[in-house]
């Protein structure tokens, strides 16, 4: 039960962070990706802020074997830099650069009732399902 409240709270705080930093706004993100044009470095500061807060916690918890409200930590143990990681990340980047939406901001932006956000999120879900379907045939994937 508590884990559900934690999930809701974490998601909400995450969504507030995306709003405060304006990363929910595709135009802002495209400003960052427009490195060779009119560049807006803000996204780097978002990542820095998040990493500065979370990295010490990950470090301190590296030897703990139990979180507060779940039986165990569920964290990817994958180490190898394989073909899937490279092809998948490359593909994701193309989609990200086309509109300026990655999954978090796209979901959060549903709050702003923009029709385009709805279309993007539905297509993204379609991409997940399509990959699951193809997964059985050609490309075995593992998710963090």
Rule CB under 8 A: which of 73-92 touch other proteins? 73-76, 78-81, 84-92
Choose, by CB under 8 A, the member of 52, 63, 136, 137 that binds other proteins.
52
Give CA–CA dist 140/44, Å, rounded: 32
Question: Measured on CA atoms in the order 7, 23, 96, 117, is the torsion positive or negative?
Answer: positive
Q: Which member of 30, 63, 136, 137 binds other proteins (CB under 8 A)?
A: 30
Q: Is 57 in the site for other proteins (CB under 8 A)?
A: yes
Q: What is the Cα–Cα distance from 32 to 79, expressed in whole angstroms?
A: 29
* CB closer to other proteins out of 47 and 137: 47
63 binds other proteins (CB under 8 A): no
Min separation Cβ 63 and other proteins, Å: 13
CA angle 79, 58, 78 (to 5 degrees): 15
Using an 8 Å Cβ cutoff, are 110 and 118 in contact?
yes
Q: What one-character DSSP code corresponds to residue 65?
A: -
Binding to other proteins by residue 94, rule CB under 8 A?
yes
How many residues can be counted in the chain?
Answer: 144
User: Within positions 125 to 144, which residues make up the interface with other proteins, using CB under 8 A?
Assistant: 125-132, 139, 141-144
- 19: three-class secondary structure by DSSP: helix
Q: What residues from 104 to 123 belong to the interface with other proteins (CB under 8 A)? A: 104, 106-112, 114, 116-117, 119-123
């Amino acid at each position: 039960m508590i884990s559900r409240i934690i999930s809701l709270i974490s998601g909400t705080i995450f969504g507030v962070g995306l709003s405060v930093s304006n990363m929910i706004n595709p135009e802002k993100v495209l400003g960052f990706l427009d490195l060779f044009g009119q560049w807006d470095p803000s996204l780097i500061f978002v990542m820095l802020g998040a990493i500065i807060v979370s990295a010490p916690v990950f470090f301190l918890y590296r030897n703990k074997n139990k979180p507060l409200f779940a039986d165990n930590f569920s964290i990817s143990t994958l180490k190898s830099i394989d073909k899937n990681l490279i092809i998948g990340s490359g593909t994701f980047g193309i989609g990200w650069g086309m509109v300026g939406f990655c999954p978090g901001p796209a979901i959060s932006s549903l709050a702003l009732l923009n029709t385009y956000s709805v279309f993007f999120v539905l297509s993204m879900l379609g991409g997940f399902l399509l990959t699951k379907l193809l997964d059985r045939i050609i490309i075995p994937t593992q998710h963090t």
